[in-house]
Amino acid sequence: MITKKQILGGTLGLTLLGLCSTPTYAIDTKRFIELANGTIHEANRGFITNINQAIKAQNEMIKLGIEGSLAYVKEHPEHKKFLSLVIANADNMKRMTPNEIEAQWHEGRYLKEHGFDIHKMEHFSELFSLMDAILHPATAYIFLTQYKKTKNADLLTRASAELIEVVAHVSHIEERKTQLTQN
């Protein structure tokens, strides 16, 4: 459940962004991909040397996803409500169980309850990719914090899969950014 504080915080952030001059592609795609690939590399070994650093990387990716989303809605205000909902729930996502985040966010139930059907969205659109730049690191965060407690290597496989998927999304944003700068 979204709290009034989260809605106001997300709305304030979007309002303050409107006062700044930020390009649409403010997400640091190179840094995001670097962080994701670092975690993927470690997770694919079956153990993580510094789990706290890996968890911190997920938080940084979420922050990058939020920054990119805030910049995006400046030039695409028609998506402000959708991305505000995602941003307002970023911290809540990290507190969910794997089953909860799967049902509520990956399958789109929470968004549908708020008038958005992700199944009608283009999967690799900028809008969907920005949502995933928050959602997938939040999901990886869940798996990594569980791994920290249990040392169950299967959780690393699941975290890696989340990040591999989001790298594909963020790579599409990077490709689009490159195309626009070349034109």
pLDDT of residue 78: 96
pLDDT of 121 > 60? The answer is: yes
- CB contact at 8 A, 142 and 94: yes
Work out the mean pLDDT of the chain and round it to a whole number: 88
136 by Cβ neighbours in 10 Å (0-12 / 13-18 / 19+) ranks as buried
Give the residue from 161, 117, 118 showing the smallest Cα distance to 139.
Answer: 161
* Least confident piece of the model among 10-14, 139-143, 159-163: 10-14
Unique residue bearing structure tokens 């990119």: 68
pLDDT of residue 13: 44
* Least confident piece of the model among 23-27, 109-113, 163-167: 23-27
Q: What is the pTM of this model?
A: 0.84
pLDDT of 7 > 60? The answer is: no
90 Cβ contact partners less than 8 Å away, ≥ 6 residues apart: 62, 65, 66, 134, 138
Mean pLDDT for 98-115 is 97
- How many residues appear in the chain? 183
How far apart CA 22 and CA 70 sit, in angstroms, is: 9
Band of residue 25 on the pLDDT scale cut at 50, 70, 90: low
Mean pLDDT for 65-74 is 96
